[in-house]
Structures are given as structure tokens and as C-alpha cells.
Amino acid sequence: AQSVAQPEDQVNVAEGNPLTVKCTYSVSGNPYLFWYVQYPNRGLQFLLKYITGDNLVKGSYGFEAEFNKSQTSFHLKKPSALVSDSALYFCAVRDRGQAGTALIFGKGTTLS
């Protein structure tokens, strides 16, 4: 079964400091991995995804994420946080062998 874990309900960081939002996953095969952001009273917005190739993926708004197969992790990072980055962040996974299936989302991490 596929699953995603976001171990932190909330992450607090000072503006200008680097931020990390953690995500680990479990799939039977190889994963497609995604990060989404949700601002208050809005829908989820796609940030970035890992499909194949370079383990470091760059996305919108200066965010990046690193795929680590041995640790089954896909942590979201940003070198210098902004107040406007405060939002709810979701990690999601799909097993490559499960074509045609929905993304499985984590419970979300609030970044403040």
C-alpha cells in the first residue's frame, strides 16, 4: 500500500532562515513525488515534482526538494524563508506501477 508521512504538524522558522518541511513515503515500486501548497481559503497549488533524473528538484517560489531513495524521503527546502511562505504544505506520492491512480497525500504541515 502507498502512504506518505509528514512527521511535523507545524514548522516555525524566522524570516531569512532556511526552512525544511519533511516528507517520507512508502510505495511498493518506484515513486512519483509531489509537493503542494495551500494558502488560507484557497485550493492546493502545485509546487514541484520528482519524476526521474536529478535528485534535486527545483520548483516555484524558490522551493526545492531532494529525493533520497535510501531514506525514502522527499524533503521540501528553501534557502531563505519569507513571511509570505506561511501556508499549509502537502507531500504526495504515486507508485509508478499504479498507472491511473490518484495521488496519496500526507496530512500536511503548517509552515509559520
Decide: is 58 part of the binding site for other proteins (CB under 8 A). no
Q: Mind giving me the DSSP string for 88-102? A: EEEEEEEETTSTT-P
Does 80 participate in binding other proteins (rule CB under 8 A)? no
Which listed residue (43, 54, 83, 84) binds other proteins by CB under 8 A?
Answer: 43
Q: Does residue 32 bind other proteins (CB under 8 A)?
A: yes
Phi-psi bin for 41: left (phi > 0), alpha (psi -120 to 50), beta? left
Q: Is 83 in the site for other proteins (CB under 8 A)?
A: no
Task: Please list, in sequence order, all residues whose beta carbon lies within 8 angstroms of the beta carbon of residue 36, skipping any fewer than 6 positions away.
Answer: 44, 45, 46, 47, 89, 90, 92, 105
Is-contact 21 74, C-beta < 8 A?
no
Nearer to other proteins, 50 or 81 (CB): 50
Query: Is the distance from CB of 30 to CB of 95 less than 8 angstroms?
Result: yes
Segment lying near other proteins (by CB under 8 A), choices 15-23, 66-74, 78-86, 104-112: 104-112
Q: Which is nearer to other proteins, 32 or 73 (CB)?
A: 32
Binding residues for other proteins (CB under 8 A): 32, 34, 36, 42-46, 49, 51, 90, 94, 96, 99-105, 107-108
